[in-house]
Amino acid sequence: MSYEKLNKQLIELVGGKDNIKAVAHCVTRLRLTLKDRDLAKTEEIKNLDGVIDVVSNEVAYQIIVGTHVTDVYNEFMAMLGLKPDGEEIEKPRAKGIKGIASSILVMISETMTSIIEVLLAAGMIAGIMAIISLTGLVSKDSSTYMIFDTLRGGVFHFLPVFIAASAAKRMKLNEYVAMALAVGLLSTNIDGAKGLELFGYNLPTIGYANTFIPILLGVWFLSIVTKYLKKIIPSGLQYFLVPALSLVLTFPVILVVFGPIGTLIGDGVNAFFNVLMNTIGNWIVVMLYAAFQPFLIVLGAANFTYPIVLNFLGTLGYDPIINHAATISDIAVCGAMFGYFLRAKKGHQRQMFGTVSFSALMGITEPAVFGVFVKYRRPFLAVIIGGGLGGLIAGLAGVKTMGFVWGLAALPTYLAGGTSNFIWMVISVIVGFVGAAAVAYGVGIPKEESEEELEEKELVEALESNQGLKQVCIGKIAEGTAIPLSEVSDKAFASGALGKGVGILPVQAEETIISPVEGTVTVAFPTKHAYGIKTKNGVELLIHIGVDTVNLEGKYFEGFVEQGQEVKKGDILAKYQADKVEEAGFDPVIIVVVTNSNDYLDVISASNGQADELLTVIL
């Protein structure tokens, strides 16, 4: 057994055989479901020979060992006394109060994420109407203004309907059954109605428009009711009885239990922030959020502010804290990257900093945060100072966000709160940008990186002058835009631990993956999402389609090659529906790495952003 020592150590360090609930693997990692993750000694596992890294998330406890994972897995299963075939990894269930709270936060975050576009649209409509009314083209008292304002207001009034559909989709329920609950709550007979009784019980007067907590809890309860009804009702009658009975059983629970709970939570959030605003002032919260939002993005916690914002909009009609702080922080991130852009002397560095700077300007800061901030660390200081100053000004001036909007494009919407509101927001954004840019330029780029770039430049110059260096070019794999490997969302790949390479952002609904080299297929994963190719020169290439897409079990993928098959450059390896993969909640990025990068002098990625010539391997 080639990996007996490694597997013995792994079994011991994850808490023993009794702590292993299920095992599976993808193309580079063992994926374990552990009964108690606290028993796993993660840092010791990371230090084992043969282990590249450990990723512990809600999907699984993942031990990254490399592309020989199948051999490790087979021996691992044999040592556990289990058959390697037919094992499926289970999603870990929440344990204890902490686990339940985490599951609830994830559910809220993912539910909100699905409806962000329509909420943003409503906020932008408010900004457009504010600009038009200020110009005098349309009066606020006109029916034209009323029509478009109704479109905006309708989105928030019927928010429970959107929440119901989004939550039902996540919980694998019929969206229309869930929406029926929301429609019932928003009917004139229920929404804000007084004197209602249910079997003699006096119902409190609750307005369900603009709310999300009662319907979110209601859909969760609906999923439980539906599950148990399907267990006790014969399959031939389920189509007729389950929807009706689940609605009849769930609706009263919302009215009696979840409606009051939602009101209490909403009032509690408002009371908490009112205390802040009436004591130390909301300015400090705005300042701190604008300064530290990049850290929340790294932790994946930024989305958890959505419920707070929606609660503000539903109860106050505006957001006094979060979204303008987020905008100031985004622009400060843009400023920090612009400062690095001015400071950088290398062409490909300037291109990278310029690209992520523009992305942050549009309100998308993840490429900058994960691609630059985490790597260099110094830009965090720039945003803390620049974003903090901008947030301080906005907080002291009492800036308000009048809709669910953020980013540069959202600035006109602040006119809906008055000219003064708009002016102070613009000033805050400018201060955040300039402050972060100045600090980033001043602290500079770490010298270690500059030295690495110098070595790379020398290699390129040697190639251009034909000084005896041989190379293998990794050509086109798919239509799309090449991005630095550091920008992909999978941390194991992004860190370069699995080899140097690039990512490709797909641009077509259905992408075709072709072989970029001539060689032998060494890996053709059963779920059709990953392929390995070895060239005659010995270059080992891994093409991984999407992040965590092994969980799709082949859905949306079609494979055209088998392990051991010889392929030529341009042969079709696979096809996949990138849009469907993204709709299913997975990142559709194509990841390409040379897994034996350490065997070569260097692996240089293309710097032109195109996906035609991806990598050059220096032999």
Separation of alpha carbons 504 and 590, rounded Å:
5
Q: Is the sign of the CA dihedral 33, 38, 377, 434 positive or negative?
A: positive
* DSSP reduced 3-state for 590: strand
Dist. CA 411–CA 361, nearest whole Å: 12
For residue 268, the Cα-to-chain-centroid distance in whole angstroms is 29
Torsion over CA: 96, 102, 106, 112 (sign)? positive
Is residue 473 flagged as an active site residue?
no
User: Please, which residues have CB within 8 angstroms of residue 390's CB and are 6 or more apart in sequence?
Assistant: 290, 328, 331, 332, 428, 429, 430, 431, 432, 433, 435
Residue 114 burial class via C-beta count within 10 angstroms: exposed 0-12, middle 13-18, buried 19 and up: middle
Residue whose C-alpha is closest to residue 327's, from 249, 258, 233, 425: 425
Q: Can you tell me which residue has the tokens 């300015």?
A: 283
DSSP tally for the chain: helices H, then strands E:
22, 19
Facing residues of 510 across strands? 577
CA 153-155-158 angle, to 5 degrees, is 105
Measured between alpha carbons, how far is 31 from 26 in angstroms, rounded to an integer?
7
Alpha-carbon distance 603 to 502, whole Å?
10
Contacts of 151 (CB under 8 A, 6+ apart): 122, 125
Contact call for residues 426 and 390 (beta carbons, < 8 A) = no
- What are the beta bridge partners of residue 198? 201
Phi (first) and psi of residue 304, to 5 degrees: -70, -5
Supply 137's token pair. Answer: 């083209």
Distances (CA, A) of 94 to 15, 34, 81, 213, 519: 19, 12, 27, 21, 45
Specify whether the CB–CB gap between 470 and 619 falls below 8 A.
yes
Measured CA to CA, the distance from residue 496 to residue 500 in angstroms comes to: 5
Q: Which distant-in-sequence residues (6+ apart) come within 8 Å of 177 by Cβ?
A: 168, 222, 243, 246, 247
Dihedral sign, Cα of residue 224, residue 226, residue 231, residue 232: positive
How far is residue 598's CA from residue 474's CA, in Å, rounded to a whole number? 17
How far is Cα 476 from Cα 516, in angstroms, rounded to an integer? Answer: 5
Instruction: Phi first, then psi: give them for residue 231, nearest 5 degrees.
Output: -75, -30
Burial class (CB in 10 A: 0-12, 13-18, 19+), 470: exposed
Phi and psi based region of residue 546 (left: phi greater than 0; alpha: psi -120 to 50; beta: remaining): left
Cα(6)–Cα(342) distance, rounded to whole angstroms? 48
Give the span between the Cα atoms of 144 and 150, in whole angstroms: 10
Distance CA 61, CA 600 (A): 31
* CA nearest to 391, candidates 457, 471, 326: 326
13, 23, 26, 591: the active-site residue: 26
Catalytic residue positions, numbered: 26
